Structure 1
Amino acid sequence: MLDHLNERMCEFVAQQEMFFLATADARGECDNTFRAGPPGFLRVLDTHTLAFPEYRGNGVHASLGNIQENPHLGILLVDFLNARIGLHVNGTARLVEDAAMRADHPDLPVDPVPGRRAELWVEVTVEEAYIHCSKHIPQFQKAPRRPARAWGTDDVRRKGGDYFGVAAGAATRAAKADAASAAKSGAAEAAPAAAPAKSGTPTDASPTPAPAPHAGTNPQPGGARNPGEAARPGREPAPTPASASAPGSAKSGGSGRLSASVLAWQREARRVLAEAEARGRTAARASEAAASHRHADRAGRADRAFQGWFTGTA
């Protein structure tokens, strides 16, 4: 184990197109992520210092957030293509603005594509450098580049979109929650009409007080709303005392205005629930279609059966 990079390590780093980055926050909760770029994107500034660019990514910023709380990090580089060997580099990091990094190192390349343009740099002071043996490293080979997924793309769909169905699932759950809330609101509106009379409260024969006006309304004669205010869908004006206590009203067991209002709310709740279920089915079908397309694409690109990781000569 070294506390710096020797000449062969520097050459190895300059050839790599990807590495794995481990960080942890102030509480020691860990994140592991993947970084990639053209060969040499992980720059060897000197035998004790590395630097890599931070491109615009998924917006989580877990690594950068961790580094601000805890500068210790671990880098693992693996050559799957040629040497089948790995290199561990552990050290401490600091975040550097792109302009400041270029002022200190004017030879840094500039890429004109926004998705491949560094926003920040992570500068790493090397504390440990040591080998990762080849015992369990598989042998890979490069596949032809697919133009539909160019490196550095900012296109959401080409970057993977909702590959694991998280957004579709969240939308379905939100729709169900909205439907449940609407149904609960309808049940709450129906509760006063269905509640049995308690001791000491007016009986059916007693004068019944008028229900409180709903928020945002100004009671008018006959239960009318404010002039120009649209009535809520499926809801009638609040009943007046006379209509609430009149024969045939909901309170006397008939089919008065309050019963009609309750039924309207129930219809509205059923409608919202049906719409939510329809949206959920549509999202599920879209997710299944996308998964089927991915499987078909992979099957079409498979030109030989899998023979195991460690077949052939070493």
Structure 2
Amino acid sequence: MTSLASQPPAYPSDIAFTPTVKAWQSRHGSRDAYARMEEEHGWQTRLTPDVARFIEQQTSVFLATVSSEGQPYIQHRGGPAGFLRVLDDHTIAFADFAGNRQYVTAGNLADNPKAHLFLVDYAHRRRIKIWGEARVIDDDPALLAKLMPEGYKARGERVIVMTVRAWDVNCPKHIPQRFDAADVAAALKERDERIEELEAQLAEVKRKPGDAGAIDRR
């Protein structure tokens, strides 16, 4: 006889919407809306091309795991854009760089494969939540080499591979808008170069008063 716990969820969102969560939704008036969401479109289980691009553009993400005793742990993972790799529409992988050698994430995954990725794009105020199972691979140097970002100064120790079970996009509400320092620096550099160009044109006009219309008005 198959236990209820081993049966597949009726909806992908059931990975988060447990009976207790649904009871809270009912109590606070949001259950009907989420029930319609489940019936009409719901959360997706395959990574679409748009979401895959979003994932591979991130330079900073959070990975949540749970110990065998149910203690949650959230660890930051960062690297150049592309350090998170979408291998197919169900699989995300990345090189695990050498760090503080606590190995909490690796230890948790050895006991409990449940994992969650939380990705936030502050500049565009967009966030994506990804549920799945993850595993540590520490005996595949070829895969590790494939996933190491080219030219990035870090030492890869192992690979973490996540199988995606469901994902959801949150609304932008309450996400503060922030910009990457490199993007801000590039925008300021472009501005300064444009100012220099206009100042040079203005200086030229001052030397030739009759050519005032020569200023580039882009």
Q: How does the TM-score come out when normalised to structure 2? A: 0.60
Deviation at 1:45, TM superposition (A): 0.4
Q: Does the residue aligned with 1:11 lie in a helix, a strand or coil?
A: helix
Rounded Cα–Cα distance in structure 2 between residues aligned with 1:130 and 1:89: 7
Deviation at 1:72, TM superposition (A): 0.4
8 Å CA contact 1:101–1:121 kept in 2: the answer is no
Instruction: Show structure 2 runs of 5+ residues with no match.
Output: 1-42, 184-218
* Structure 1 residues 36 and 106: alpha-carbon distance in aligned structure 2, compared to 1, 3 A threshold: closer
Match of 1:16 in 2: 58
Structure 2 counterpart of 1:131, from 169, 187, 192: 169
CA-based RMSD? 2.1
Instruction: Show structure 1 runs of 5+ residues with no match.
Output: 146-314
Deviation at 1:102, TM superposition (A): 2.4
8 Å CA contact 2:82–2:149 kept in 1: the answer is no
Amino acid at match of 2:131: N
Deviation at 1:40, TM superposition (A): 1.1
Rounded Cα–Cα distance in structure 2 between residues aligned with 1:96 and 1:19: 20
**C-alpha distance after superposition, 1:35-82 (max 9, x if no partner):** 10000111100010000111111121111110111000010000012x
Question: Structure 1 residue 88 and structure 2 residue 126: aligned?
Answer: no
The 5 Å alignment of 1:1-314 reads 1-81=43-123, 83-97=124-138, 100=140, 102-103=142-143, 107-109=146-148, 111=150, 116-143=154-181
Deviation at 1:107, TM superposition (A): 4.5
Larger strand percent = 2
**Runs (4+) off by over 4 Å:** 109-113
* Structure 1 residues 106 and 24: alpha-carbon distance in aligned structure 2, compared to 1, 3 A threshold: closer
Deviation at 1:111, TM superposition (A): 4.8
Amino acid at match of 1:100: D
Rounded Cα–Cα distance in structure 2 between residues aligned with 1:88 and 1:74: 7
Amino acid at match of 1:8: D
8 Å CA contact 1:80–1:139 kept in 2: the answer is yes
Q: Does the residue aligned with 2:117 lie in a helix, a strand or coil?
A: strand
8 Å CA contact 2:58–2:121 kept in 1: the answer is yes
Rounded Cα–Cα distance in structure 2 between residues aligned with 1:20 and 1:107: 22
Same amino acid, percent of matched pairs: 34
**Higher RCO (C-alpha 8 Å, min separation 6):** 2
Rounded Cα–Cα distance in structure 1 between residues aligned with 2:48 and 2:151: 33
Amino acid at match of 1:18: S
Q: Does the residue aligned with 1:116 lie in a helix, a strand or coil?
A: coil
Deviation at 1:124, TM superposition (A): 0.4
Q: How does the TM-score come out when normalised to structure 1? A: 0.42
Rounded Cα–Cα distance in structure 1 between residues aligned with 2:162 and 2:155: 20
Give the number of the structure whose alpha-carbon radius of gyration is greater.
Answer: 1
Amino acid at match of 2:147: L
Rounded Cα–Cα distance in structure 2 between residues aligned with 1:142 and 1:31: 26
Deviation at 1:108, TM superposition (A): 3.5
- In the comparison of the two structures, how many residue pairs are matched? 141
